[in-house]
Amino acid sequence: MSWVETEAIAIILDVGPGMTEAPPGVETALQASVTAIGRILQRKMFSQCKDEIALILFGTDGTSNDLADDESYLHVTLARPLGPVSWELLEYVQNDITPSNTSGDFVDALIVAVDHLVKAVQGKRRIGSKRVVLFSNFCGKFADDQLDDIIASMVEVDINLDIIGPSLDEEDDDDDDDDDDDEPKPGPSNGHVKAKSPQQRAGEQMARHLLNKVKGDNFSFSQALPALSYFQSRQVRSAAWKCQLDIGSNLHIPICLYCRVKEMKPNTFKNVYAKDADAKIERLRTHHLNDDAETEIESSDVIQGHRYGSTLVPFSKDDKEAMKYKTVKCFTLLCFASADTVPRHLLMGDGTWLCVAEKGDEAAAVALSALINAMYELNSVAIVRRVYCANAQVHVGCLMPYIKADYECLIYNELPFVEDIRQFTFRSLPLSEENTAARQKLAPTDEQLKLMDQLIDSMDLTSAIKDEDGDTSEALKPKETFNPYLQRLYQCLQHRALNPDEPLPALSDVITSCLQIPATVEVQCRATLEKMKDKFKLELVAKEKKEETAENVFKSRSYPCDPDIVLPFISENDDKPPEKKAKIENDDLKGGLADLVKVKEVGTASPVDDFKELISRKDEDLFETACEMIQKRITQLVTDSFGSQSYPKAMDCLKALREASVKNSEPNIFNEFMIKLKDELRKTGRTDFWHDIVHEKLTLISKLDSEESKVTQQESDNFLLTADDGKSTEQEITTQDDADDLIAVFCNLQLAFYQYILILHYHYVWQKTGLCVVIH
């Protein structure tokens, strides 16, 4: 496999008058060249590669290069010597390159670029390759007397050549030899068709000859600009991880693991590109106590701790090392398994590794090759245990055979442990026979399932692109599709660096095209989607909203009454059977006056439900207000209670307040109220309710219950003890006889009042409907 090496690149740009000729409203060749060079620099910068770039301009008014004299290599300027990509170079390309009225010789510029590359890379061992990129439309004059020397030099020092400008296809000049006149011929240049001059056709012919000799490449602007619009991921050279593949106790194969692909993670921007290259970036980290003064402490006085209940247990580095699992470097085969038992979704890790035999070890290569071919024939994979180095984390991985025409290897991917797997169970569709008839109505028909299969087939990306010959190819190939998030991130960073005072730009066309549905897929899906509209009916079910009047609310209510009271309805015509009672829907049961008004306070009817309703409204933040309301309601229920009648409701409110205080990490609200309530019960003589609190063991919220509490567990336990003798006040409440008599009287009064209300209600019904009410 090939490794990414640092490259030395010389960019040659033609700034002569021929590069500025274009019809009105059409981008000139110089503008397209500047855009392309800017994108090259951006790609190099954001991918954090170590490539070095030199910029050479020809066709300039002045001359500045090492080979220039009074007669040769004129109007060629070395604008930037070979060096790393910087913001200064990018700003120079974007803002400082201006066209001139002087034509330059692209052959002279090539000689200057080759000479500069050869001299600049001397002594730099990390430079692996050299490249010259020429931007020109060949409208200027040139001399070809040194062409053979250029070709020999580039072949000798192994310099690659790329020409970006007009298309240099052979068929463009098939008829050159037949034309004796100097009439210009039409040809493509910079994305539009314009007349080519004889000088330009001669320059293109020379460039084509040069590319054939040095085996270079040619790209038009329409080809180069879209390709350069993508920001490349960082490419680094993978170092070999050497180890032995242990198969049993007697077979050991020396192998090397190379990282083939790894997850691209954007820069954390802790260290960023600074315009001042000499600027020193320093980091300062301090530790402070969580007190009012935020006292600073030394880093040496800080130690990690783990909470055990309310206690913080210190855990030093020595403790970590003592308890750490001891491992040794290894790559051990655990077992072989069928490839079907390792589905793709179980492959983990942030990268994929290639396992090959150690370089130069012929016996290891033969042994590993035999293993690869045997696994391939048996459709098997190998489960291995991998430890990167001594005392490192243990990983379990899978080795899969991979055989190509020119090489073979094992592909390594990590596998999850049991703790890493999350099983999610989803409800099945109503298709089985066990489902009820009501749910079977929701099951899709065979025709609907067939349409869904057609939709999936029409969205197939493996054959979504068709060329002029009708051949299909895959759309959105992983190797050619870049992460749109990173593309947008780098676009914004580049714009903000060059234009700090301007707002961020709109989404570029290149990123937008990645998010668009391929045209072929969209056309294929259209017919199927139209059929699905007819077969999958979507109907808007509008629920009829009844007018909430008193008559609608109360007409469906049933009122309980004493068994001794019989309230039959007698029709005017006794011969007719009585009408059936209307069925009460579930929604009607939810009705009533309580649903007509939004809960605004904790009432006496259902205080716990009102309290929970208020604190559930996260957008209004009513927790403290609701706690104050329920505290007042508890006090009212206990104080106004007739005997112990309202005590159970008050106790439920108290439990709800405690539960909510713990859940919302506000224990002080409950603790402060309990202290006040204890004192108030003693003053008002309601000690019997305090006995109920002790019996329920409803004490203060301690630190074990909530970390925010200031009450210790001992203080919480002692809270239920009396201050006199320290004994528990938990005891049975003896009810007095006079209290029983009073409760009985109250119940009889309440029943009589309820009967009176019923008589009034049915009297009203009789007046409205003419029905007779008989009361026994």
For domain 443-535, give the fold: Ku70; Chain: A; domain 4 (1.10.1600)
Residue (of 103, 226, 115, 120) closest to 164 by Cα position: 226
For the chain, what are the domain ranges?
6-173+186-228, 238-268+303-422, 443-535, 550-588+737-776, 598-734
136: exposed, middle or buried (Cβ count in 10 Å: 0-12, 13-18, 19+): buried
Say if CB 670 and CB 705 are below 8 A apart.
no
Beta strands in 567-695 (DSSP E): 569-570
Residue (of 438, 461, 480) closest to 518 by Cα position: 461
**Any idea of the CA torsion for 290, 292, 298, 300, to the nearest 10 degrees?**
-30
Q: How many CB atoms lie within 10 A of CB 625?
A: 14
Reported residue count of the chain is: 776
Pick the CATH number of 598-734 from 1.10.1060.10, 1.20.1740.10, 1.25.40.240, 3.30.70.20: 1.25.40.240
Class of domain 238-268+303-422: mainly beta
pLDDT given for residue 511 in this prediction: 82
Distance CA 268, CA 246 (A): 39
Q: Collapsing DSSP states into helix, strand and coil, what is residue 267?
A: coil
* DSSP per-residue string spanning 455-484: HHHHT-STT-EE-TTS-EE-SS-TTT---H
Model-level pTM? 0.53
**Any idea of the CA torsion for 563, 567, 569, 575, to the nearest 10 degrees?**
70
> What confidence tens digit (pLDDT) does each residue in 679-729 have?
888 888 888 888 888 888 888 898 888 878 888 888 888 888 754 434 444
Q: Please determine, looking at this structure, whether the domain spanning 6-173+186-228 carries the CATH number 2.160.10.10.
A: no
- Please list the residues that pair with 310 across neighbouring strands: none
Distance CA 154, CA 12 (A): 15
pLDDT given for residue 317 in this prediction: 85
CA atoms within 13 A on the CB side of 40: 23
**Mean pLDDT, 10 residues at a time, the chain of 776 residues:** 68 91 84 88 80 93 89 90 89 90 90 92 83 90 81 88 81 45 43 68 88 88 72 70 94 94 72 62 85 88 88 88 90 96 91 94 95 96 95 94 94 93 74 56 83 92 80 82 82 82 86 84 90 85 61 50 40 45 43 52 84 77 84 87 84 89 86 88 84 87 84 84 47 44 58 61 51 43
Q: How many CB atoms lie within 10 A of CB 754?
A: 14
Distance, C-alpha 578 to centroid of its chain: 66
DSSP state of 420: G
DSSP state of 579: P
Annotate 415-434 with b (16+ C-beta within 10 A) or e (fewer). beeeeeeeeeeeeeeeeeee
Measure the N-to-C terminal CA separation of the chain; round to a whole number of Å. Answer: 102
Q: Residue 434: CB partners within 8 Å, gap ≥ 6?
A: none
* Residue showing tokens 């970390």: 707
Q: Collapsing DSSP states into helix, strand and coil, what is residue 600?
A: coil
* Residue showing tokens 């301090």: 286
Say if CB 649 and CB 636 are below 8 A apart.
no
Q: Collapsing DSSP states into helix, strand and coil, what is residue 10?
A: strand
> What confidence tens digit (pLDDT) does each residue in 389-410 have?
998 999 999 999 999 998 999 9
